[in-house]
C-alpha cells in the first residue's frame, strides 16, 4: 500500500489543501515534504496515523476548525487497486467514501496487515526523539546483539530499559537474603501485628466508666456552648442597633436635602455633558463666523486691484508657438553646432581618401562601386572562420590520436604484469563466522577465571568449619532452608524480645502497685477523709438505730424510747459529720477511688503478664529443641546458637555459589576451548582453498587469515583498476582514430567551397586571413560614406532651422510692441520671455485670490450651517429640561444629577440599616432607634449594657473552653484503654497486608515470567536474523559514517554476543562506547536493515521520517538521504523537514530519485506545490 495523495480538508492549520505524491513509477518512491516552522509539517505524520486508525476522542488539532468538523482523506494504491477514502470525526463509522458512504475498517486493516496503531508507529515511523531514544537504548543494552537487532526490526527502542525496569520492580518486591524488599518489610510488619494482637488485653469495666465520664463532659460542654451562643446572639443584636444609629441619622438628613430640590427632570449625565459642550461650541462658531466675514471682504478688495494688460494674450500665444516643436532648442543647437559640423565633413573626406589608398584605388575613383553587399561579406567571413576552425580541429585530433596510442601501450604492459582475482567470499564468510570463536585473549581470561573460582571455592569450604567435606559432599548436602532459619531466628528473637518486654512491664507494674499502695495508705490515714467503707458503716449504724427507735416507739416503753432516741441522734450526728467531711474532700475521695481501681487493674495485668512470661519461657525451650534438631541434620553440634547456625547457613550459600561458579566457568572454558580448536581447523581449510598453507599455532590462524584476506582484496582491487583503465584507453584510442578521419574529410570539403565563393565575387585567391582583412577595409569605407552623407543632410537642416526661428522672433516683437526688433534675435527673445513671466505672476496672484475667496465662502456657509444645527439641538435640549436657555438647562440638569446622588446614598443607608437590623420596615427602625436618639441617657444605658454582655461573653468563652478541655481529656483517657478498637484496627491492617502480599506475589511472578519470555524471544530473533540483517546494518552504518566504521562484527563473552564497530584503522569499539550522535546513527542503520528484512517477505507500508537528520553533519546527512532513496525502491518513503539545505542536498544526491513537495506557511497565503 502507498499514498498517491493526501487531502487535508479540515485538520489543524490546514483547510482544503492536498499533497499529490503521484502514481506508481519505476523510480524510487521517495518524497521530501518541506515547510517553514508551524507550516504543519509534523502535523502530516499525525494526519497519516489518524487516517489509517481514526481521529482520537481527544485531539490537539481542533484549534481552527470545530472538533466535530475535522476531516482528512487520501488516494491509496492498494493490492486490490486504487482506493479513495475520507476520515471524519465520529465515534463510529468514521471511514467514508468521497460520496459519504460508510466503508468497513477491514478495507484498511487488510492493507495494514492487521498492525495496531502502536505497531505501525514503531515499525514505519521515526522522529528525532525516537532516534535519540534508540541510541540511548544501545547504551542501556551495552551492545547486546539480540536486543539491538530486535530493536532495529521492531522499532521498539526501549526493549532493554523496559526489561531492566521489569527486573528491578521484581527485585524491589523479593530478592533472596534481602531484608529491605517490599515482601520482607510486609512479613516483618505482619509479625509485629501478630505480637500486638497477642499482648492486647481489654479492660471492659474501666472502659465503660470512662465512657460515662466522656458523655457527661460532652453534655456539660454542649450546654455551656448553647448558653454562650444565645448570649452572643443577644450581644450582636444590641451591637447592631448601636451601629445603626449613625446610618439612621444620615438617612434622615439626606431625605430632608432631597425634598428641598423640589420637582426636577430625570438625571441625565450625557445630556448635562452635551449641554456644556453645546454652550462652548456655539460660542466658538459665532466667533469663527465674524472672523470669516471680515477676511472675505479684504480678499475681494485685493482682487479688484489686479487687471490683465491688452497685449498679454498675443505675447503668450506667440511664445507658445516658438516653444512648440522645440524650435528654440533647435535654433540654439544649430548656432552652437554648425562650425564643428563643417569641420567634421572635411575630416570624413580625408578618411575616405585614406580607405581608397589602402584598397589600391585612386582618390578620383567612385568609392560606391568598390563596395560588397553585407550578405556576401558575412558569408565570406563565416566561411573563412569555419576553415580556420576545421584546420585547428584536424591538428588537435592528430595530436590526441598519438597520445592515446602511447597511453594504451603502457596500460597493456601494466595489466599483463597482474594476476586475475580469486573468489574471496568463502574466506570472508569463514572469518566472520569463526572470528568470535577465535578470541585467544578471551580463552585465557576464561582459564584464569576457572583458577580464580577454584581458589574462591577452597576458601569458602574452609569457612564452613566446624563442618568439613569435599565439594561433592557439599553439593549433596541439604541444609535447612534460609527461610526456615530466618523464621526460627526471627521467632527466637521475637520470643526473647517479648519475654524481655514482659519482664520489664512486670517490674514497672510492681513499682506502680507499690507506689499506689503507699499513696492509698497515706490517704486512708488522714482523719479528715472518710472512706467509702467507713461512710457505709456509719450509714448502716444510723439506719439500724433508727429501726430500733421506731420499734421502741411502737412498743411504747419510754426509757427505751429515750435511749434509742439518744443513740439514733448520736449516730445521725456522726453520719452528718462524715457526710460533711466527704463533701469537703470529694476530690480526694474521687482520687482514692480512681487509684483503687487503677491498683486493681495493675494487679490483674501483672497476673496476666506472669502467665505470658511462663508461656514465653516454654516457647524458648521448644525453639532450643528445634534448633538442636536442625543442627543435627547438617552435622553441626547441637549446642550451636541460632545466630551461629544462621551465619553458617549464609557461609554454606556462599560456598555453594562458589561451587556453582567454579563448575560453570570450567564448563564455559571447556566449551570455548573446543569451539576455538574447531574454528581454527575450519579456517585453515579455507586458507588452503585459496592456496595458503598455515603452519602456525591456533592462536595465530585468525591473524593469518585476515592478512590473506587483505592481500587478496588489494590484489583484486589493483587488477580491477588496471583492467578498467586498459579498457577505457582502448576505447579512447578507437575514438581518436575516427576523429582524425572525420576532421580530414571536413577540411577538404571546406577548401572546395572556399575557392568557389571567391570566384563568384571576383576576389583574387588568398588565404582566409587576407580576405578577412580586405572585407574589414571595405566595411570601414562603407561606414565612412554613410556617415558623410548623413552629416551633410543634418547641416542643411540646422541652417534652415536657425533662419526660420530668427524671423518668427522679430515678427512677435512687432505684434506686441515689446523689445527692440533690431537687437540680436536671442536677446530679443529674452526680453519677450521676461515680460511674459511678469504677466504670469499677476495671473497666478489673481487665481490665488479667487481660490481664497471661494474657500472663505464655503467655510462661512459651513459655519452658518453648523450654527443652525447646534441652535436646533440646544432648543430641543432646553425643551426636555423645561429650561429657558442653555445656561438654565445646565443648571437644571446639574441639580437633577445631585438629587440622583442623594437618592443613591439614601438607598445605600437603607441597605445598611436592613443588614444591621434584619428588617426592611422603616417603622421598626424608628421604634428601635428613635428612643436612643431622643435620649442621651437611654443611649448611654444601652452602651453600658452592651459592655456588660461583652464581659459575660468572655467569661462564657473561658467556661466553654474548660468544659471542652475536660471532654477531650476524658476522650483521650478512654482512647488509652480502648483496646477493642485497637484490636479491630490491627486485624483490619493484617487482612490488608495479606492481600497486598498476595497481589505483590502475583505481580512478581508476572514480571519474572514476562522478562524470561522476552529474553527468549530476543535470543530466537538474534539466531534467525543475525546473518543477513547484520550485513545490511553493517553496510548502512559504513555508508552513513562515510567509511569511518567499515564493518560491524560480533564478540562472544559468557554466552552473550556483543555488537562491535570496526574502525577504518582496524581497531574496534563496542556499540555502547560510541558517541551519542554515532549511536543514534547506528540505531538508524539497524532500522534500515530491519526495513530491508521486512521487505523480503512482503511489501512494506509507507515509512515516515520526521526531521531525523538534525543532529547529523552535512556529510552523514547526505549519505543518509542516499540510503533513504534506496530504501524507497522497495516501498514509499516520506521525509518531513523544515531545513532547506536538506532539500538542496536531496536534489544533489538523488536528482531523479526524489520528489520535493513545498509546504508553505499560512501567513504567506499560499498552498502546496510539488517540484
Terminal Cα-to-Cα distance of the chain (whole angstroms) = 23
Burial class (CB in 10 A: 0-12, 13-18, 19+), 27: middle
Neighbours of 1089 (CB within 10 A): 25
- pLDDT value at residue 139: 65
Radius of gyration of the chain (CA): 61
Greater confidence (938 vs 288) lies with 288
Query: What's the mean pLDDT in 658-669?
Result: 85
Q: Are 1039 and 1057 in contact (CB under 8 A)?
A: no
Neighbours of 815 (CB within 10 A): 13
Q: Cell 492536498 identifies what position? A: 18
- pLDDT value at residue 1167: 43
Q: Is the dihedral of CA 278, 283, 286, 291 positive or negative?
A: negative
Q: Report the residue count for the chain.
A: 1171
- pLDDT value at residue 76: 92
Query: What's the rounded Cα separation, in Å, for the pair 171 and 164?
Result: 10
- pLDDT value at residue 197: 63
Neighbours of 715 (CB within 10 A): 16
Q: Cell 575450519 identifies what position? A: 682
What separation in angstroms does the CA of 4 have from each of 8, 50, 327?
Answer: 14, 17, 74
Cβ neighbours of residue 612 closer than 8 Å, sequence gap 6 or more: 199, 498, 502
Q: Are 767 and 449 in contact (CB under 8 A)?
A: no
What are the backbone angles phi and psi of residue 54, rounded to the nearest 5°? 105, 150
Residue 1024 predicted with pLDDT over 70: no
- pLDDT value at residue 86: 94
- pLDDT value at residue 1165: 37
Query: What's the rounded Cα separation, in Å, for the pair 542 and 19?
Result: 117
Query: What's the rounded Cα separation, in Å, for the pair 559 and 837?
Result: 172
Strand order in the sheet with 30-35: 125-127, 1103-1106, 1133-1137, 30-35, 1154-1159, 1168-1170
Q: Taking the CA of residue 938 as centre, how many other CA atoms within 13 Å lie in the half-sphere pointing to its CB?
A: 12
Query: What's the mean pLDDT in 876-898?
Result: 84
Query: What's the rounded Cα separation, in Å, for the pair 1086 and 1035?
Result: 10
CA nearest neighbour of 749 among 327, 394, 1152, 310? 394
Q: Lowest mean pLDDT: which of 319-323, 575-579, 918-922, 984-988?
A: 984-988
Greater confidence (584 vs 712) lies with 712
- 410-437 pLDDT per residue, tens: 888 888 888 778 888 888 888 888 887 8
- 621-656 pLDDT per residue, tens: 887 777 777 776 776 777 777 777 777 777 877 888
**Which residues make beta-bridge pairs with 127?**
1106
The three-point CA angle 731-737-743 to 5° equals 130
Q: Are 293 and 795 in contact (CB under 8 A)?
A: no
Cis, bond preceding 466 (omega within 30 deg of 0): yes
Q: Are 1117 and 1040 in contact (CB under 8 A)?
A: no
Query: What's the mean pLDDT in 708-723?
Result: 83
Q: Are 1117 and 1149 in contact (CB under 8 A)?
A: no
Q: Which three cell numbers stand for residue 712?
A: 587478496
Please, which contacts does 256-261 make with residues 24 or more away whose CB atoms are closer than 8 Å? 257/902, 258/899, 258/902, 258/903, 258/906, 261/895, 261/898, 261/899
Query: What's the rounded Cα separation, in Å, for the pair 224 and 231?
Result: 11
Query: What's the rounded Cα separation, in Å, for the pair 176 and 181?
Result: 9
Query: What's the rounded Cα separation, in Å, for the pair 1023 and 1033?
Result: 16
- pLDDT value at residue 670: 86
Query: What's the rounded Cα separation, in Å, for the pair 381 and 773?
Result: 10
* Secondary structure (3-state) at 764: coil
DSSP summary character for residue 44: H
CA nearest neighbour of 318 among 803, 838, 800, 815? 815
**How does residue 131 score in pLDDT terms, banded at 50, 70 and 90?**
confident
Query: What's the rounded Cα separation, in Å, for the pair 285 and 282?
Result: 5
Burial class (CB in 10 A: 0-12, 13-18, 19+), 762: exposed
- 346-357 pLDDT per residue, tens: 887 777 777 777
Query: What's the rounded Cα separation, in Å, for the pair 924 and 937?
Result: 21
What rounded mean pLDDT belongs to the chain?
79
- pLDDT value at residue 979: 46
- pLDDT value at residue 983: 60
For the chain, percent of residues with pLDDT exceeding 70: 89
List alpha helices for 761-885, DSSP H. 768-816, 825-880
Q: Which three cell numbers stand for residue 650?
A: 549464609
Q: Are 1170 and 46 in contact (CB under 8 A)?
A: no
The number of helix segments (H) and strand segments (E) in the chain equals: 30, 14
- pLDDT value at residue 294: 85
**How does residue 1163 score in pLDDT terms, banded at 50, 70 and 90?**
very low
71-78 and 125-127: which strand pairing? unpaired
Query: What's the rounded Cα separation, in Å, for the pair 1030 and 992?
Result: 52
Amino acid at each position: 500500500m502507498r499514498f498517491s495523495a493526501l487531502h487535508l480538508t479540515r485538520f489543524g492549520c490546514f483547510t482544503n489543501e492536498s499533497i499529490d505524491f503521484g502514481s506508481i513509477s519505476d523510480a524510487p518512491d521517495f518524497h521530501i515534504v518541506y515547510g517553514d516552522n508551524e507550516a504543519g509539517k509534523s502535523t502530516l505524520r499525525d494526519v497519516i496515523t489518524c487516517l489509517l486508525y481514526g481521529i482520537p476522542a481527544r485531539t490537539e488539532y481542533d484549534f481552527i476548525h470545530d472538533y466535530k468538523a475535522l476531516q482528512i482523506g487520501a488516494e491509496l494504491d492498494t493490492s486490490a487497486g486504487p482506493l479513495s477514502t475520507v476520515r471524519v470525526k465520529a465515534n463510529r463509522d468514521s471511514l467514508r467514501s468521497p460520496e459519504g458512504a460508510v466503508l468497513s475498517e477491514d478495507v484498511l486493516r487488510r492493507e495494514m496487515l492487521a498492525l495496531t496503531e502502536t505497531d505501525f508507529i514503531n515499525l514505519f515511523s521515526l522522529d528525532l526523539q525516537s532516534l535519540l531514544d534508540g541510541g540511548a537504548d544501545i547504551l542501556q543494552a551495552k551492545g547486546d546483539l539480540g536486543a539491538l537487532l530486535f530493536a532495529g526490526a521492531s522499532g521498539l527502542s526501549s526493549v532493554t530499559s523496559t526489561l531492566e525496569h521489569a527486573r528491578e520492580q521484581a527485585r524491589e518486591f523479593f530478592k533472596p537474603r534481602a531484608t529491605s524488599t517490599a515482601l520482607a518489610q510486609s512479613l516483618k510488619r505482619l509479625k509485629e501485628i501478630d505480637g500486638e494482637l497477642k499482648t492486647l488485653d481489654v479492660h471492659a469495666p474501666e472502659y465503660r466508666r470512662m465512657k460515662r465520664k466522656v458523655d457527661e463532659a460532652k453534655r456539660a460542654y454542649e450546654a455551656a456552648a448553647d448558653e454562650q451562643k444565645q448570649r452572643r446572639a443577644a450581644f450582636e443584636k444590641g451591637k447592631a442597633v448601636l451601629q445603626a444609629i449613625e446610618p439612621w441619622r444620615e438617612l434622615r438628613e439626606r431625605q430632608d436635602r432631597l425634598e428641598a430640590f423640589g420637582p426636577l427632570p430625570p438625571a441625565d449625565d450625557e445630556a448635562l455633558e452635551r449641554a456644556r459642550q453645546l454652550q462652548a461650541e456655539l460660542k466658538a462658531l459665532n466667533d469663527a463666523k465674524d472672523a470669516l466675514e471680515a477676511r472675505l471682504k479684504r480678499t475681494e478688495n485685493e482682487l479688484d486691484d489686479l487687471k490683465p494688460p491688452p497685449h498679454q494674450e498675443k505675447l503668450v500665444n506667440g511664445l507658445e508657438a516658438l516653444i512648440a516643436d522645440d524650435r528654440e532648442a533647435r535654433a540654439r543647437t544649430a548656432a552652437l553646432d554648425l562650425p564643428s559640423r563643417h569641420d567634421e565633413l572635411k575630416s570624413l573626406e580625408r578618411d575616405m581618401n585614406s580607405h581608397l589608398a589602402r584598397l589600391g584605388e585612386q582618390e578620383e575613383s567612385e568609392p560606391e562601386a568598390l563596395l560588397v553587399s553585407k550578405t556576401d561579406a558575412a558569408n565570406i567571413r563565416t566561411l573563412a572562420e569555419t576553415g580556420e576552425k576545421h584546420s585547428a580541429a584536424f591538428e588537435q585530433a592528430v595530436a590526441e590520436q598519438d597520445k592515446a596510442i602511447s597511453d594504451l601501450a603502457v596500460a597493456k604492459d601494466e595489466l599483463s604484469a597482474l594476476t586475475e582475482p580469486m573468489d574471496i567470499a568463502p574466506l570472508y564468510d569463514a572469518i566472520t563466522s569463526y572470528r568470535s570463536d577465535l578470541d585467544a585473549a578471551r580463552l585465557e581470561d576464561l582459564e584464569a577465571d576457572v583458577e580464580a573460582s577454584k581458589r574462591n571455592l577452597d576458601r569458602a569450604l574452609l569457612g564452613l568449619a566446624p563442618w568439613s567435606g569435599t565439594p561433592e559432599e557439599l553439593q549433596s548436602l541439604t541444609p535447612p532452608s534460609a527461610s526456615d532459619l530466618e523464621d526460627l531466628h526471627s521467632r527466637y528473637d521475637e520470643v526473647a524480645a517479648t519475654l524481655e518486654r514482659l519482664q520489664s512491664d512486670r517490674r514497672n507494674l510492681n513499682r506502680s502497685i507499690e507506689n499506689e499502695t503507699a499513696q492509698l495508705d497515706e490517704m486512708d490515714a488522714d482523719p479528715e477523709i472518710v472512706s467509702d467503707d467507713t461512710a457505709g458503716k456509719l450509714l448502716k449504724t444510723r439506719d439500724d438505730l433508727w429501726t430500733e427507735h421506731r420499734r421502741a416507739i411502737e412498743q411504747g416503753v419510754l426509757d427505751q424510747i429515750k435511749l434509742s432516741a439518744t443513740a439514733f441522734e448520736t449516730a445521725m450526728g456522726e453520719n452528718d459529720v462524715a457526710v460533711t467531711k466527704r463533701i469537703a474532700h470529694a476530690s480526694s475521695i474521687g482520687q482514692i477511688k480512681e487509684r483503687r481501681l487503677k491498683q486493681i487493674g495493675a494487679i490483674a495485668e501483672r497476673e496476666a503478664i506472669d502467665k505470658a512470661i511462663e508461656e514465653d519461657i516454654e516457647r524458648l525451650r521448644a525453639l532450643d529443641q528445634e534448633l538442636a534438631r536442625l543442627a543435627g541434620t547438617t552435622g553441626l553440634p547441637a549446642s550451636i546458637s541460632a545466630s551461629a547456625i544462621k551465619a553458617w547457613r549464609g557461609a554454606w550459600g556462599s560456598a555453594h555459589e562458589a561451587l556453582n561458579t567454579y563448575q560453570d566457568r570450567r564448563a564455559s572454558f571447556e566449551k570455548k576451548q573446543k569451539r576455538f580448536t574447531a574454528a581454527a581447523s575450519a579456517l585453515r581449510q579455507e586458507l588452503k582453498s585459496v592456496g595458503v598453507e598455515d603452519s602456525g599455532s591456533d592462536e595465530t590462524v585468525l591473524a593469518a587469515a585476515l592478512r590473506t584476506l587483505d592481500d587478496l582484496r588489494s590484489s583484486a582491487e589493483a587488477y580491477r583498476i588496471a583492467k578498467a583503465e586498459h579498457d577505457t584507453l582502448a576505447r579512447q584510442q578507437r575514438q581518436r582514430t575516427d576523429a582524425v578521419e572525420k576532421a580530414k574529410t571536413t577540411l577538404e570539403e571546406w577548401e572546395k567551397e572556399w575557392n568557389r565563393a571567391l570566384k563568384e565575387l571576383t576576389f583574387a585567391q588568398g588565404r582566409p586571413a587576407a580576405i578577412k582583412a580586405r572585407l574589414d577595409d571595405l566595411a570601414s569605407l562603407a561606414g565612412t560614406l554613410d556617415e558623410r552623407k548623413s552629416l551633410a543632410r543634418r547641416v542643411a537642416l540646422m541652417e534652415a532651422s536657425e533662419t526660420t526661428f530668427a524671423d518668427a522672433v522679430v515678427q512677435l516683437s512687432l505684434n506686441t510692441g515689446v523689445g527692440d526688433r533690431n537687437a540680436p534675435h536671442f536677446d530679443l527673445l529674452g526680453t519677450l520671455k521676461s515680460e511674459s513671466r511678469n504677466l504670469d505672476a499677476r495671473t497666478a496672484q489673481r487665481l490665488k485670490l479667487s481660490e481664497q475667496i471661494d474657500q472663505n465662502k464655503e467655510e462661512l456657509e459651513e459655519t452658518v450651517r453648523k450654527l443652525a444645527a447646534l441652535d436646533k439641538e440646544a432648543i430641543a435640549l432646553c425643551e426636555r429640561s423645561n429650561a429657558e436657555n442653555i445656561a438654565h438647562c445646565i443648571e437644571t440638569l446639574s441639580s437633577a444629577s445631585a438629587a440622583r446622588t442623594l437618592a443613591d446614598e439614601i438607598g445605600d443607608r437603607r441597605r445598611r440599616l436592613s443588614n444591621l437590623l434584619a428588617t426592611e420596615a422603616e417603622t421598626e427602625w424608628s421604634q428601635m432607634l428613635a428612643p436612643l436618639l431622643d435620649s442621651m441617657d437611654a443611649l448611654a444605658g444601652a452602651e453600658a449594657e452592651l459592655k456588660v454582655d461583652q464581659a459575660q461573653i468572655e467569661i462564657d468563652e473561658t467556661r466553654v473552653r474548660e468544659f471542652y478541655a475536660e471532654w477531650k481529656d476524658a476522650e483521650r483517657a478512654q482512647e488509652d484503654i480502648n483496646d477493642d478498637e485497637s484490636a479491630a484496627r490491627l486485624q483490619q491492617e493484617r487482612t490488608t497486608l495479606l492481600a497486598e502480599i498476595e497481589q505483590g506475589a502475583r505481580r512478581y511472578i508476572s514480571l519474572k515470567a514476562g522478562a524470561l519470555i522476552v529474553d527468549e524471544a530476543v535470543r530466537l530473533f538474534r539466531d534467525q536474523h543475525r546473518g543477513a540483517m547484520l550485513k545490511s546494518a553493517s553496510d548502512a552504518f559504513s555508508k552513513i559514517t562515510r567509511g569511518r566504521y567499515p564493518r560491524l562484527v560480533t564478540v562472544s563473552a559468557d554466552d552473550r554476543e556483543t555488537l562491535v564497530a570496526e574502525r577504518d584503522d582496524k581497531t574496534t569499539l563496542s556499540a555502547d562506547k560510541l558517541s551519542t550522535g554515532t549511536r543514534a546513527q547506528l540505531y538508524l542503520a539497524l532500522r534500515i536493515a530491519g526495513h530491508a528484512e521486512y521487505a523480503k517477505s512482503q511489501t512494506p507500508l509507507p515509512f515516515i521520517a520526521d526531521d531525523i537528520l538534525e543532529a547529523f553533519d552535512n556529510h552523514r546527512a547526505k549519505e543518509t538521504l542516499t540510503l533513504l532513496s534506496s530504501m524507497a525502491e522497495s516501498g514509499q518513503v516520506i521525509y518531513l523537514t523544515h531545513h532547506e539545505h536538506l532539500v538542496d542536498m536531496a536534489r544533489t544526491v538523488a536528482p531523479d530519485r526524489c520528489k520535493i513537495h513545498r509546504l508553505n506557511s499560512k501567513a504567506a497565503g499560499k498552498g502546496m506545490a510539488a517540484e
